[in-house]
Amino acid sequence: MAGGILSGLNAAQREAVTTTADVVQVLAPPGSGKTKTLTARVAHLIAERRLKPWNIIVCTFTVKAANEMKERITKFVGPDCANQLKLGTFHSVALRYLKQYGQHIGLSKDFGIADTSDSKAIVKRITKQNDYTIDAGSARGRISTQKAKGIDSEQFAKTKKNVEQQEFARVYEEYEETLKASNLLDYDDLLTRCCLLLPNVEALLIDEYQDTNNIQYELMALFAQHRNVITIVGDPDQSIYGFRSAEIKNLTRMKQQWADTLTINLEENYRSSGAILHAAQHIIEQDESRPPKKLQATHTFGQRPILRKLPTAAAEADWLVAEVKRTQALSGGLLQPNDFAVLLRSAALSRAIESALGREGVPYRMIGGMRFYDRVEIKLLIDYLRVVDSPGNSEAVERIANMPPRRVGEGTIKGLHEEARLKGVSLWSMVLDVVQGRCRSATKVNNTSHTGLAKFVDVIVSAQKKLASTAAEDTPLVTLLQHIIKKLNYQDHLKKKYADDCEARWSNVEELIAQTTEASDPQQLAAMLAEGALPTIEGIERRTESVTEDALSLFLANVTLSTAGAEKAEQDGEKIQQLTISTIHGAKGLEWPVVFIPACYDGSIPHSRAEDNDEERRLLYVGMTRAQALLYLSSPGRNSQREEASMSTFLAQPGVAAYFEEHGPSIATRDVQGLAKTLGRESPSDAVVAESKRSLERDEDNYWPLTGEQPPEELAKWDRGKSNETAWSIGGMRPAAVFSTAAVTMQQQQDFTTASTTIKAGFVSAKAQYDDILEEQRLKKVDERAAQAKAVADEKPKGRKRQIEGQGSIASFFAKPSTTAKKENESCSNDVKQHDAKRTKIPLQELSNVNTVASADIANRRLMLSHKLPSTAPSRQTPRPTSRVPPAGNPYPFSSSPPQQDEDDGNPTTSDTIPTSDAGHDETTNTMMARPATTFHTTSMQTVVPQRKTLGMRRSLKGWNARGGRH
Ligand SMILES: Nc1ncnc2c1ncn2[C@@H]1O[C@H](COP(=O)(O)OP(=O)(O)OP(=O)(O)O)[C@@H](O)[C@H]1O
């Protein structure tokens, strides 16, 4: 059996699996097979060291990871044996023990679990019954914090100081009494109560150890104390849950507690190309307090990652989608949407990307969160806009009549709706008649409900008036939305209802405001009317009385359009290919062939509210190391709130640029074959590749200037909109009739150069700007020839910078080199050969030297790719349609958005099967002791669908950073 367990493992992995040491730390970088190693060690402990599976605990970070691990272990030891393991999240393992041994600490066997909403409901009832002034949501959070500190309600009551605390103490006490009376434990109780038990455990194994918190450490120590056989795997560089009290210090704490801890480092990465690893490693090494570590790529160097500048968040989204389509088409359809992931620092950032994907019909799914327009706080506001636009929408009226709560009974609304249906009128007109006393309804409407309905009518009617009275040039949609938000006291509502994550939700609302700002653009509105571009959407009744009302209809129509594709994809389930959007937190442990990380600007990553910049850097590192073959990072010059944004400090540091290309790769036919081989798929024929390539208007990433400015084509569109000849938007939400990819057709380019634009005072036409650009490019050519000559003379080693034509390709990553080539590569690992060093084996220190040399190359490519505007371009004197409304003194910048949990996540009652008995389990051997819990903090993750873990050929990069010592 051992042979089977160990096959396919490298020497270090084998050592970690078979060591006779009791306490083992396996510390290893991303993609080095930590999970694989842990799985094999479990099998080894059962098969070789003859430990009883029911006395082995295996803790994973997610339910999904637990299921995967069980599947793998089953292959080694069979299902009967694997089923006996105590395998799952900390919470589910604790639950199993409590079910089994709870009677020793006075728990009856049939206790239930109060989930988060049960807990909230209990606290709410207590505050309501007693007329307490304390907010129920925050009281629930405070109870959790006290439990985490090990302070029970009695202890807290003794230390209470002021009136407010006394009230909270009573809530806490009553909450505990209610749980006890109902024989319930909440999530916090699971771990704290389990700390009172000391069952017999022969071995404990923990995955993702770097993200354990204090209470989990306590549990680990308790579980392990009988035999002290512990194996943990982790990566300090991937510690990203500090904000949820995860303790990176638990690594050293463990070594202090068990002095004979054996540390094993795995150093080979089986996931990413050498180029991606080089770049990621360079970023993580900016943290000088971090001990140096070895990391070797087993793949070839491949395609250098891309670091792209775009003018706006909307342009960034357009570019991203254009790159997805371009690489898909150039690969002859070999790369499918499933192969792409967009990883975001904050969930609110998804809006622009989702809109762009929706416009282009690219299906996507969200992991770790909901689609933007499905988020409760957004859905509600959109419903208000819908009712303002079309009061006859009775479904929407029913949804919002008592939301936020106005004490209108649910039965009243339903009764009125039914009555309206029978009368053949809309619910809105029924409500209006009742409120204005024009008719007596058969449905009983008591005074409280009547008052509530009157408030609702006031919101809608005042909003309609606001819209009608706002001039088209006064950003009517923003004005309308802000009016509704104010009337609803929306921010307070979010604070009350979602105490735990109200800031993230408010960020989403701000993102919606930003979107209405774009959609209010007067040029865009005027152009749409001129074009007659308003789409007709089934089920959406349009009132076309004014420009502003049309603007609202158009906005809502586009929202519907952008969600329609996603809904269709959802209905089709797994059958259809979907790009993945996730927070970076939610992408932990996963991998994709192509990864995009947009919005890499200061304030986003590092996040403006983050307390620990090093954790933010690690987050970027985790995101980057999810990529197998292609990695795109990007940053807009203006974020979606139209505020100026500068490149993330992690990426703006000297030397970083040398690790990146400035634009997406060319993909030649031969690259496609290499790609097919690696992904284990059939390679499309040359004819298919050629055919799908034909569908592209642009086969290079050369529409958006490398400088991060608007391309002349976009400016020309604006010119045209201004002169009312024709128009496109500058980004953001566009009229459905003019949706297009970021690329423009040759005809459009032709139009651009020949268009006769109306030149207005203080405004210079795009044609004139284009002439300036040509002139500037001619001058730049002269400068760059000089720079090139200097670069040749300097002859320093340089990173693989390339021209867009004949560039290095991703084939070098995907194609398997010949055996001889492999030998050559390995033999020269310490004494790097000049040529190869440029492609694969450049020590990090050397790579950082290439900057000055590369600059000429970069400039040269800019010449070919960009349409840089002259810095003195007259257009600068006349502001372009960019910033409009970012609310001044905005107290809520983008908020941190931890991945949202699946409902099941962390809920052992639904996620884990609790065995009623353990076959062969000798209960008499269990030791039971009491011990108080000291701390507690819940850590849980959403479940995610893992991607294939494809592998390419191996290639050693030994010597690349041989300076790194063992950690
Ligand atoms: N010795 C090996 N030979 C070939 N492939 C391997 C080897 N070890 C691991 N792999 C593969 O490498 C990929 C990454 O492994 P795994 O997910 O276990 O890494 P990890 O260290 O847990 O990564 P992360 O920290 O990013 O979650 C998997 O597809 C795995 O099968």
Residue type present at position 367: I
Q: How far is CA 780 from CA 142, 518, 774, 786, 940, in A?
A: 62, 35, 10, 10, 55
Give the pLDDT of residue 783: 46
- Ranked by mean pLDDT, which of 200-204, 231-235, 940-944 comes out on top? 231-235
Residue to probe by mutation, ligand 1, list 6, 238, 270, 592, most atoms within 8 Å of CB: 270
Higher pLDDT, 216 or 816: 216
**175 phi and psi, to 5 degrees?**
-60, -50
Give the pLDDT of residue 374: 82
275-329 pLDDT, tens per residue?
999 999 999 999 888 877 778 888 888 889 999 999 999 999 999 999 999 999 9
**697 phi and psi, to 5 degrees?**
-80, -20
627-670 pLDDT, tens per residue?
998 999 999 999 887 889 999 999 999 999 999 999 998 888 77
412: left (phi over 0), alpha (psi -120 to 50) or beta: alpha
Q: How far is CA 392 from CA 41, 417, 917, in A?
A: 64, 12, 59
Residue to probe by mutation, ligand 1, list 32, 239, 679, most atoms within 8 Å of CB: 32
Average pLDDT over residues 922-930: 33
CA of 79 to the centre of ligand 1 (A): 23
Q: Whose CA is nearest to atom 14 of ligand 1?
A: 31
Residue type present at position 918: D
571-628 pLDDT, tens per residue?
554 457 889 999 898 888 788 999 999 999 999 999 988 888 899 999 999 999 999 9
The span from the CA of 929 to the CA of 107, in Å, is 15
872-921 pLDDT, tens per residue?
333 333 333 333 233 333 322 222 233 333 333 333 222 322 222 333 33
Paired strand residues for 114: 186
- Please give the share of the chain, as a percent, with pLDDT higher than 90: 27
Paired sense of beta strands 268-269 and 184-186, if any:
unpaired
pTM strictly above 0.80: no
Give the pLDDT of residue 551: 76
Burial class (CB in 10 A: 0-12, 13-18, 19+), 539: exposed
Q: Is the pLDDT of residue 863 over 60?
A: no
443-458 pLDDT, tens per residue?
999 999 999 999 999 9
715-763 pLDDT, tens per residue?
766 555 444 333 333 333 333 322 222 333 333 333 322 222 222 222 2
Tokens read off for 353: 């990307």
Residues with CB under 6 A from ligand 1: 8-10, 13, 28, 30-36, 235, 238, 270-271, 589, 949, 951
Average pLDDT over residues 82-88: 89
CA of 32 to the centre of ligand 1 (A): 5
Higher pLDDT, 498 or 915: 498
**Average per-residue pLDDT for the chain:** 71
Higher pLDDT, 501 or 614: 614
Q: Is the pLDDT of residue 514 over 70?
A: yes
CA of 947 to the centre of ligand 1 (A): 12
